[in-house]
């Protein structure tokens, strides 16, 4: 069997990571579809591929945007992405709410 693994020595196969980021707007008056579009653009610049976008009720008429996307594991830390999303006009907060490796 050593011959089968000979070509893989020293190589590490990187997986994809499936993430969900929750974006909380500053108020219920924010244009969520417009904000979703801007956030999606930032995620794509981070080399993420959006797989799902949902607008979820939170409380008192306030709704959050939950964006789920795939990104290469080699991207590492999501802090730069979260910071870029927080800088969007109308965003109160942006944080990763779910992370898992998607191998295959």
Q: What is the pLDDT of residue 2?
A: 47
Evaluate whether residue 42 is within a structural domain: yes
Q: What is the pLDDT of residue 75?
A: 85
Into how many domains does the chain fold?
1
Concatenated DSSP letters of 29-49: TS-HHHHHHHHHHHHHHTT-E
Q: Which domain holds residue 54?
A: 13-62
Nearest to 92 by CA among 16, 28, 27: 27
Evaluate whether residue 34 is within a structural domain: yes
Q: What is the pLDDT of residue 50?
A: 96
Evaluate whether residue 89 is within a structural domain: no
% of the chain surpassing 90 pLDDT:
76
Evaluate whether residue 5 is within a structural domain: no
**pTM for the predicted model, two decimal places:** 0.83
**Which residue ranges of the chain lie beneath pLDDT 50?**
1-5, 7-8
Q: What is the pLDDT of residue 11?
A: 56
Evaluate whether residue 17 is within a structural domain: yes
Q: Give Cα 44 to chain centroid, integer Å.
A: 9
Q: What is the pLDDT of residue 5?
A: 45
């Amino acid at each position: 069997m050593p011959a089968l693994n000979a070509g893989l020595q020293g190589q590490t196969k990187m997986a994809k990571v499936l993430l969900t980021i929750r974006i909380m707007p500053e108020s219920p008056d924010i244009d969520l579809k417009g904000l979703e579009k801007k956030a999606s653009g930032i995620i794509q610049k981070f080399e993420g591929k959006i797989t799902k976008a949902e607008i979820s009720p939170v409380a008192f008429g306030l709704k959050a945007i939950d964006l789920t996307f795939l990104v290469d594991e080699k991207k590492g830390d999501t802090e730069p992405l979260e910071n870029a999303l927080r800088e969007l006009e109308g965003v109160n907060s942006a944080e990763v709410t779910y992370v898992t490796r998607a191998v295959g």
